[in-house]
Structure 1
Amino acid sequence: MAASVSGRDLVLEALLMITRDGEYSHIVLKNILDTHQYLDKKERAFITRVVNGTLERMIELDYIINQFSKVKVQKMKPVIRCILRSAVYQMRYMDSVPDSAICNEAVKLAVKRGFSGLKGFVNGVLRTISRKKQEIVMPDREDKESYLSVIYSLPKWLVGHWLKEYGEEAVEQMGTAFLQAAPTTVRLNLNRMEKEDILKLLKEEGVTVSEVPGMPEALYLSGYDYLAGLPSFREGLYQVQDQSSMQVAKLADPQPGDYVIDVCAAPGGKAIHMAELLKGSGHVEARDLTEYKTQKIWENVERSGLSNISVVCQDALLKTEASIEKADILIADLPCSGLGVLGRKPDLKYRVTKEDLTELQNLQRSILQVVKDYVKPGGRLLYSTCTINRGENEENAGWFAENFKEYHLVSRRQMMPGRDGGDGFYIAVFQKENHE
C-alpha cells in the first residue's frame, strides 16, 4: 500500500484477511506492522488495539449491530461487516475518538472501498447505535449459555462445553481474563546477563517492566513499540514465553548432560529453556513438522547464542529408529485446540469446532504412541497442551497411563486463565520404569 495509507485502512485490511480469508490474526498483524514500520507508535498501537479488540468482542459486536440493523451481520458484504464491527468496537470501548468522527471515518472507508451506494446504510446504523447506546439489551442472565456467549464473546457451543466441564465461575473467570489487555511475558536468559543489568537496559530502552509473581526468571513487558526493534531482544537477553509454558522445563528438571528431544518445538521457547537449564551441557534436539516452523525455532536459537541445541525438520508421527531410548527427557507439547491462548489469539475461538476437539485428541494419542519409545528407561516424558479441554488433557493423560504400563504418572497440572496468572495450559509428567 502507498505511504499515505491510514491506520483505519490497515485495520480494515487486517480484519478482512482474518475473518474473510481465514488468515491467523497474530501473523496478519505482525506482517502489517512490519511492512508499515514508518507509522508512528500511536498509530501502530491504534491498529493493534482495534484489530484485536474487534476480534475479541466480535460476538458481542454482532449482537449489538443486529439489534439496530435491518440487514443482519451475516448477510452483509464482508467489507461493510468489518467496517461496522470495528466502528462499534471503537464507540463502545475507546474514548479517545468522538462517535461522530468514528461514523464519518467509517462512511469514508465504505466509499473508498467502492461501496458509496451503502454509505447511507453505514451512517444510519452507526448513528442509531451511538444515539441508543443506553438502550442496548443483553441476553437474559437466566439463559446462561446465551448470556455468557455474548458478554464474553465466546461461541455458544464452547460456553456449553466449559459449563459442563468446569462450571459457571470458571467460565466467567476465563472469559474476563481473555478480554483483558495482557503484557508480553518474557523469560530472561540469565546465563547471558544478570537480571539487574537486563532491567537497567530495558528501562533505558523505554520499556515498562513488571515482575511475574513467584517467577524471578520472568518479566512482563509493555509500552514498547516494536519488540524486534529493541537491542536487548535482538541480543537474545530474553525469549517471549508465557509463564504457564515455562513450567514445562521447570517440571522436567533437566540434569547436567541430559539428552532432550522436543518433538513439536516451534517456536522453540521450551527447547531453549531446557538448553539454558542444562548450562552448556547435554543436548536438546528441537523438532517440528515444516521448514517454516523449524526456521522460527532457528531464529530464536540464533538469538539465544546457545550451542547445545539443534533443530530438525521431522514429522512426529513418523518413528525415527535412531531416536529409540535416546532421550532422558522427551517433551511432547502437542498440536491442540489452543483454547488456553484465546487472550493472545482471539480468532482461534471462531475457528475451533466441537469436531476438532475429538480429532485433535486422536492426533495427540497417535503422536504419543510413536514418541513414547524415544525415552530411556528411567527417563521422563512431559505431555503438554495450551488448551482447556478435559478430552485433550486429563483424558489423554489417563489413556496414556492406562495403555503404556511402563509409564507412571508423576504429576499433572491444569493452569487456568484468570486463576493462575498465565495462559490456559496442561502438563502431565510421566516417569518410565527402569528395567534394571
Structure 2
Amino acid sequence: MKNARELAIEILIDSQQGSYSNLALNKYLTQDIPAIDRAFVTELVYGVLKYRMKLDYIISQFSKIELSKMSWPVLNTLRIGIYQLMFLDKVPVFAAVNESVNLAKKMENPGAARFVNAVLRNIVRNKNVITYPDPVRHPQEFLSIYYSFPKWMVERWIKLYGFDFTRDLCEAFNQKPRVCIRINTLKTNKEKLKSTLESEGVKVIPGVMFEEAFYIEDIPQLKQLKSFHDGLFQPQDESSMIAARALGVRSGDMVLDVAAAPGGKTTHIAQIMANKGSITAWDIHPHRVELIKETCRRLGTTIVDAQVRDSRLKDKDMHNKFDKVLVDAPCSGLGVIRRKPDIKWSKKPEDISVLTTEQQRILEVCSQYVKLNGILVYSTCSIEPEENQQIVEAFLENNGNFVYDDMRPYLPEKLAMELKEPYGWIQLYPNIHKVDGFFVARLKRVGK
C-alpha cells in the first residue's frame, strides 16, 4: 500500500493535470486507508495547494535547477517536504526530510533523491533567514509571495480594499475553515441533533449567526455518519444560509431556484417552508440534477421538482409564475478560496468579465418569472464587485419594475446592523465575518 506522502504527490499531480483536488482526494482516499492517513494526506494536499507560490519561492532560493526543469514528482516531493518543515510542527524534521528523500528515490531515481536531500537540508539550516520582498517598497510582490496568491489577484484587491484589508483577507483565506452543518428541522431539532452527534463521537458548537447551524470539531468523515445518511443535517456554510433566509419564503409559496445543484439552498428553502408549497429547481447538467434529487431524498424534502434546464434561455410559460426566485449565479468562487484553494491557480482575470455577461443574462431572464410584488434574490460566493453590486445596479437601471427590498428582517441582528441604505444587499468577507465570502441582494417587483 502506498504511504500518505506518496498518495499526496499523486493527488497533487492529478490536480496539476486538471482534476479538482476534492474529487482527486475522494478518488484516492478509499475506505481501506486509515483515518489518520486520510487526514494527513488531506493536510498535505490542501497545504501545498494553499501555499504553492510561497513553497516554489523557497525552492528557487535553494535550488540551482529551475522549477520548470524539475519533473512533477520531484517538484511535488520538495513542496510537501518544505510544507512539513515550515508549517507542520508535529512532523519531526528528520521524518520530513528522510521520507521525502525515500519518495524521490522510489518515484524517480537515486540522483533525484540526492537532489531532494540537499535542498531540504539546506532549507533546514537556513529557514529562519529566508527573505521575502519588502512590504513597503513592493507590497504586491510581498503579499503575492508571502501569502501565496497570484499577483493579479493581490493587485486587484489592493486597488479595491487597500493593503491592510488585502493582507487580512489573504491571511483569512489561508486559514483552515471550520466544518459547518445546517440542522434539518424537518427531521430533528438542535438539542436532538447535538445529542445524536455526540453519541457518534462528534463534538459540536453553536453557529455564529443562525440557530440552525452547528460547527463540528474533531472532524470525522461526515458522509460515514449514520446521522448524515438519516438526513439529520446538511453540510453548508452559514454565509450560504443567508440566501434562503433573505428570500423570505413562507409555507405555500411557489419558488424557483435556478442553478440549484447540489441542493443545499433548495432544501434549506424547503425547510423554512416546512415542506409545504412548491419549489422548482433547475440545473443545466443532468448529473447535477441527480445530486439535487439525492439531497432531497436524504433530507426528506418532497416539494422539490428538479429539472434539467438552462436558466439563460427564456421561457414564456414561466412569466409571472413564482412568488420567490433565487438566482444563485455561477461565479468566480473567489469568496470560497479557503475551502477550494485550487481556485487561486485555476482562475484568470478575464474569467470575471466572461462570468459577468452570463450573470447579467441569467438575472435578466429569470426576473421575468417573478410575480407582481414577488421577491428576487441574487447571490454569489464571490467578493468581486463586478459580479455582485455592479450586476444588481445595472439590472435595476434597466428594470424600473424592480427595487431593492429591505433585507434586515431576514438577517441575524449583528448582520442587519451592518446594512446601509437601501438595506437591500450585503457582502460578507472571511476576514471580517469569519465565514465564506458571499454576496446577497434582495429585490422586489413593484410593476409590470
Q: TM-score, normalised by structure 2?
A: 0.93
Aligned residue for 2:335, secondary structure, equals helix
Contact preservation (8 Å) 1:209, 1:220: yes
Matched, 1:23 2:36: no
Structure 1 residue 421: deviation in Å? 2.1
The residue type equivalent to 2:24 in the other structure is V
Matched, 1:408 2:403: yes
2:31 to 9, 33, 37: 37
Contact preservation (8 Å) 2:85, 2:93: yes
Q: Deviations over 1:188-233 (max 9, x none)?
A: 0122112111001111111121111231110111313311110111
Contact preservation (8 Å) 2:186, 2:300: no
Structure 2 unaligned spans of 5+: 406-423
Contact preservation (8 Å) 1:14, 1:29: yes
Q: Distance in 2 between matches of 1:320 and 1:48?
A: 44
The residue type equivalent to 2:104 in the other structure is A
Task: Write the mapping of 1:177-256 to structure 2, written as runs, cut at 5 A.
Answer: 177-256=172-251
Q: Which residue of 1 aligns with 2:271?
A: 276
The residue type equivalent to 1:144 in the other structure is P
Q: Distance in 1 between matches of 2:345 and 2:147?
A: 13
Q: Which residue of 2 aligns with 1:384?
A: 379
Deviates more, 1:298-307 or 1:338-347: 298-307
Deviates more, 1:108-117 or 1:425-434: 108-117
Matched, 1:145 2:159: no
Q: TM-score, normalised by structure 1?
A: 0.96
Matched, 1:316 2:311: yes
Q: Deviations over 1:247-282 (max 9, x none)?
A: 011111102211111110111111110011111211
Aligned residue for 2:364, secondary structure, equals helix
Q: Deviations over 1:113-134 (max 9, x none)?
A: 2343322111111111111111
Q: Deviations over 1:280-300 (max 9, x none)?
A: 211111111112211221221
Structure 1 residue 380: deviation in Å? 1.0
Q: Distance in 2 between matches of 1:153 and 1:114?
A: 28
Contact preservation (8 Å) 1:188, 1:239: yes
Q: Distance in 2 between matches of 1:408 and 1:415?
A: 22
Structure 1 residue 434: deviation in Å? 4.5
Matched, 1:424 2:437: yes
Matched, 1:93 2:93: no
Q: Distance in 2 between matches of 1:246 and 1:349?
A: 24
Q: Distance in 2 between matches of 1:295 and 1:156?
A: 38
Contact preservation (8 Å) 2:179, 2:219: no
Structure 1 residue 42: deviation in Å? 1.1
The residue type equivalent to 1:431 in the other structure is K
Q: Distance in 2 between matches of 1:377 and 1:74?
A: 59
Q: Which residue of 1 aligns with 2:7?
A: 10
Matched, 1:49 2:43: yes
Aligned residue for 1:381, secondary structure, equals strand
Matched, 1:262 2:257: yes
Q: Which residue of 1 aligns with 2:171?
A: 176
Q: Which residue of 1 aligns with 2:59?
A: 65
The residue type equivalent to 2:294 in the other structure is E
Q: Deviations over 1:69-115 (max 9, x none)?
A: 11232332222111111110011111222222222211222222234
Aligned residue for 1:132, secondary structure, equals helix
Q: Distance in 2 between matches of 1:352 and 1:340?
A: 13
Aligned residue for 1:341, secondary structure, equals coil
Identity %, equivalent residues = 38
Deviates more, 1:340-349 or 1:148-157: 148-157
Structure 1 unaligned spans of 5+: none
Contact preservation (8 Å) 1:84, 1:122: yes
Deviation >4 Å, runs of 4+: none
Q: Distance in 2 between matches of 1:392 and 1:431?
A: 20
Q: Distance in 2 between matches of 1:244 and 1:206?
A: 26
Q: Deviations over 1:11-49 (max 9, x none)?
A: 011100112x1111122122222xx21222211110111
Q: Which residue of 2 aligns with 1:80?
A: 74
Q: Distance in 2 between matches of 1:173 and 1:326?
A: 44
Contact preservation (8 Å) 2:402, 2:447: no
Q: Which residue of 2 aligns with 1:129?
A: 123
Q: Distance in 2 between matches of 1:96 and 1:380?
A: 52
Contact preservation (8 Å) 1:173, 1:417: no
Q: Distance in 2 between matches of 1:354 and 1:183?
A: 29
Go from structure 1 to structure 2 and tell me whether the alpha carbon gap of 1:137 and 1:325 turns closer, same or farther (over 3 Å shift). same
Structure 1 residue 361: deviation in Å? 0.9
Q: Distance in 2 between matches of 1:286 and 1:170?
A: 37
Count of matched residue positions in the alignment of Structure 1 and Structure 2: 429
Aligned residue for 2:396, secondary structure, equals helix
